[in-house]
A = this chain, B = another copy of it.
């Protein structure tokens, strides 16, 4: 069995060294703590997410995807704040007894580290701390980003009249999970990619600074997360179910109604949910288009607390008085 120190050095430190000096890291991994130099005039945005085997990802998921996904879901929280990602810490717990032999363990770890590091590099994020322990497979990722004082996006700024919009497409996370459960293993499948290799919308978060009145990421599903935003902003929302942007191949795979339900409450999409003044929507869409991303208006905020559907779709009753509301207010819907 590899000692923790060797393991961290072998899989997680070498590829980081090059990027360390250029990213505010005064003293890198290998001491009791890492020393970082924050930039003046910036606030730190910090968040932690744990990914547990068979809860957040299947045990048979490719190791590359496990590493990518654990970091992606944490970075998604920085995206939702409009923060620039800078540093992360990773606590990996895994049980060597789960692996057939040492060769398999090494292959898994190398592939896992490659998934984690590749996403680090894509988002100029330096791994500055790690811990490796023995136990059921689980990954805790702490992310640290920076945002100029006063410019962070929060959940609480939405006003009645603001438009509600989402980046990219919805339902892919749930659609991909459904496919995985049916035995699909081809990572090139667009839905499986959405589920196992989600892309944190960091560039979109930065682009929406100064435009979005509120923002959060969609991890639990649009309806549940919109309930958090409505609660924090003390507004209601009217959603146009027919306007929901559906992930590629979602409708052809699941059928129309299941596809819409996946988009409404499936979760694991890691798109951004934002509110904006109607005047700003064209500018926001332009900025995101330059990043190759869409921003789709799916409704608007209103004064009457709660949520309802604006159209007469079959799912109107599914949306109207969504039970999530009750959970937070204690009121009947």
Contacts and interface: CB of A to CB of B under 8 A. Distances in A.
Interface of A: 3, 5, 26-27, 30-38, 40, 43-53, 55-56, 76-78, 80-81, 83, 87, 89-91, 93, 128-131, 133-136, 138, 140, 142-145, 147, 149, 152, 154-156, 215-217, 228, 232, 327
Contacts of A3: 327
Nearest to A129: B48
Contact of A33 (B33, B40, B45): B45
Nearest to A142: B142
A48 B142 contact: yes
B55 A89 contact: no
B33 A83 contact: yes
How many copies the complex holds: the figure is 2
Contact of A216 (B32, B52, B89, B155): B32
Contacts of A327: 3
A87 B46 contact: yes
A37 to B, nearest CB: 6
14 contacts: A3-B327, A27-B152, A30-B155, A31-B81, A32-B78, A32-B216, A33-B47, A33-B145, A38-B44, A40-B40, A46-B89, A47-B129, A50-B140, A52-B135
A31 to B, nearest CB: 5
Contacts of A138: 93, 133, 135-136, 138
Contacts of A37: 43-44, 149
Given A32-B78, A47-B89, 15 more contacts: A27-B152, A30-B232, A32-B80, A32-B155, A33-B46, A35-B43, A36-B45, A37-B149, A48-B90, A49-B131, A51-B133, A55-B134, A91-B91, A133-B138, A135-B136
B26 A43 contact: yes
A33 B91 contact: no
Nearest to A219: B32
A7 to B, nearest CB: 13
Contacts of A31: 81, 154-156, 216, 232
A177 to B, nearest CB: 17
Given A48-B131, A48-B142, A38 B38 contact: yes
Contacts of A51: 133
A215 B32 CA distance: 9
Nearest to A26: B43
B136 A131 contact: no
B152 A50 contact: no
A181 B33 CA distance: 32
Given A46-B87, A48-B129, A35 B135 contact: no
A44 B48 contact: no
Nearest to A36: B44
A275 to B, nearest CB: 14
A49 B142 CA distance: 11
Given A35-B81, A135-B138, A48 B130 contact: yes
A130 to B, nearest CB: 7
B27 A154 contact: yes
A50 B232 contact: no
Contacts of A89: 46-48, 142
